[in-house]
Structure 1
């Protein structure tokens, strides 16, 4: 299988600069919600604002005119209420083994950082809630004050220009963070690319997978074939393992002989008092994604994934 073939390359020391491209499919096992799904608590909460379509709340022009729908959603999106899952720790184990060059995530849930992946190994391509600033003049704003205001149903405003402050999550119409452009150096260096939990439909993020060398193995771990993996035949060094992502990652870890170490890593991290999951909807079986684009809402992805908000995609 693709998993065993790639695992053998890793064990033989052939892959020492691994780049991971991740979407919200890696976070479904953590119980993170999809605000687009009718019938969920978050979707119902947005309906009262008469939002033209769910993704509009991440449009910077829409936000400028009416920030309240986003802030209503942001109350549920702030990190801290969910635990990283086995998939996140698998990525951290790549770092622990000295194999991780970088992980590029589309997610804004903060779970990569929460599981212990160091900041220098992480590119949050769509920003995060860790900082906040004025959406107009970009003056920094204390992130805790922004969070307190949002949690209290207040709209934080800039002390300099009086415009609305928002967490530094990338919206449609905004540029990607500067750190994203590390890809121009990372991908040409990579000797293994692992793609997981994303449908690779929104640019420029989707094209990253085509920037590794033609001789570099690419491994897709997803519910369905996406992007260049939809074309038959596959590139000679491409491998694909389709199905439930959490189960696939566990099998990959078993091929690598890492399962026990990952389980121990999870236990050790849990002992550091990572907060327990919180219920944000009366529906017990509800699953969510801290993603915001319809590209990942389509059924051909591992799950709905937060999509790219680059200026290239939005202009």
Structure 2
């Protein structure tokens, strides 16, 4: 019923608010249990709008200071009212952090510089460009009920993301550089474009929270398939079908749809957030749970760096929050320069450009 839906959504929002601002051990445990349960798309949409409005209300009451303004395409923003912790402090923390202690979270915004659409930009985002498929609402493309009814829109989208069509940019190479410097604890990505893999982040350091195109599963017989098994059909714009014993079921890439649980590896975050010495968040709206909740679960004394087009989530509330707003690639290059790793960064990117196409995609 509608009243039950409203009550459930309000409970979801209230629980998330309490965990962020008035956490207790019991409350956090309850949140972890509740946030992994399946919610209808209506609940998700309702919670998102409620959370956005709440954040706007909170930020209206928060003093804001800006520094770093000028000709730079990225700006350093502090909303604690003190601006005592800066991007230079972040650079020093990363340089002098212990082995494998830098945690990275990333969303679709890091891939826009590679030519891949994000989801929500008005007039150009993925959801806007899906209007030609006459979806009941944009998010339907990632809902199982709609997929089983009409899988073609999803595979039209999939054709654009098959590994090999796009190249990683500076934002993908930053965690790869951190790995090479033995600083990367883990990278958690919402992306399904595999550009993190292409940049050189190994499996043990990468968690694809929303799944991957590298493997696929038949929706009827559950037979396992690889990307190569279905790549031809995807390239041709047709729906791949299972050939196991004449099954003919639709083969769905192992992408996490709304209502599906994240991969088991995702839950390593519970340990990772307690071990990290600095958190870097790039190119995400921090709206999709449980991924978004990770940023609030790192200890309160851990520095958090946001590199994004705009402020999101609870960033700006903690004393050691630093926000680089504006162009993400420019923000990444600025951070690398402040750490004195420019030459290493150039060398890493140059190595990628001389690889053969097969070498670039062999891990995807």
TM-score under structure 2 length normalisation: 0.69
Please state how far the C-alpha of 1:173 moved relative to its aligned partner: 2.2
Which of 260, 269, 284 matches 2:352? 269
* Deviation string, structure 1 residues 185-217 (Cα, Å, up to 9, x no partner): 111111111111111112111110111112211
1:102 and 2:174 are equivalent in the alignment: no
Unaligned runs of 5+ in 2: 1-75, 77-85, 359-364
- In 2, the alpha carbon distance for the partners of 1:227 and 1:43 equals 21
- In 2, the alpha carbon distance for the partners of 1:138 and 1:209 equals 34
8 Å CA contact 1:26–1:245 kept in 2: the answer is: yes
Hey, what does 1:113 align to over in structure 2?
A: 197
The higher-RCO structure (CA 8 Å, 6+ apart) is: 1
- In 2, the alpha carbon distance for the partners of 1:89 and 1:254 equals 14
Hey, what does 1:127 align to over in structure 2?
A: 211
- In 2, the alpha carbon distance for the partners of 1:86 and 1:274 equals 19
1:82 and 2:82 are equivalent in the alignment: no
Please state how far the C-alpha of 1:30 moved relative to its aligned partner: 0.8
1:242 and 2:288 are equivalent in the alignment: no
Which structure has the larger Rg?
Answer: 2
* Deviation string, structure 1 residues 274-304 (Cα, Å, up to 9, x no partner): 49xxxxxxxxxxxxxxxxxxxxxxxxxxxxx
Which of 194, 199, 202 matches 2:280? 194
- In 1, the alpha carbon distance for the partners of 2:235 and 2:197 equals 22
User: Matches of residues 6-85 of structure 1 in structure 2 within 5 Å?
Assistant: 6-13=90-97, 16-34=100-118, 46-85=130-169
8 Å CA contact 1:36–1:54 kept in 2: the answer is: no
SS class of match (1:227): coil
Q: Count the aligned residue pairs.
A: 272
1:209 and 2:292 are equivalent in the alignment: no
* Deviation string, structure 1 residues 86-140 (Cα, Å, up to 9, x no partner): 1211111100111000000011111100011111100010111101111344321
Hey, what does 1:312 align to over in structure 2?
A: none
8 Å CA contact 1:68–1:155 kept in 2: the answer is: yes
- The structure with the greater share of residues assigned to helix is 2
TM-score under structure 1 length normalisation: 0.79
Please state how far the C-alpha of 1:44 moved relative to its aligned partner: 9.0
1:171 and 2:254 are equivalent in the alignment: no
- In 1, the alpha carbon distance for the partners of 2:90 and 2:127 equals 40
- In 1, the alpha carbon distance for the partners of 2:168 and 2:107 equals 14
Please state how far the C-alpha of 1:147 moved relative to its aligned partner: 1.6
Hey, what does 1:4 align to over in structure 2?
A: 88
Which has the larger displacement, 167-176 or 47-56? Answer: 47-56
- In 2, the alpha carbon distance for the partners of 1:92 and 1:26 equals 14
Unaligned runs of 5+ in 1: 276-315
8 Å CA contact 1:21–1:196 kept in 2: the answer is: yes
SS class of match (1:32): coil
8 Å CA contact 1:35–1:54 kept in 2: the answer is: no
Please state how far the C-alpha of 1:266 moved relative to its aligned partner: 0.5
Please state how far the C-alpha of 1:141 moved relative to its aligned partner: 2.3
- In 1, the alpha carbon distance for the partners of 2:125 and 2:326 equals 28
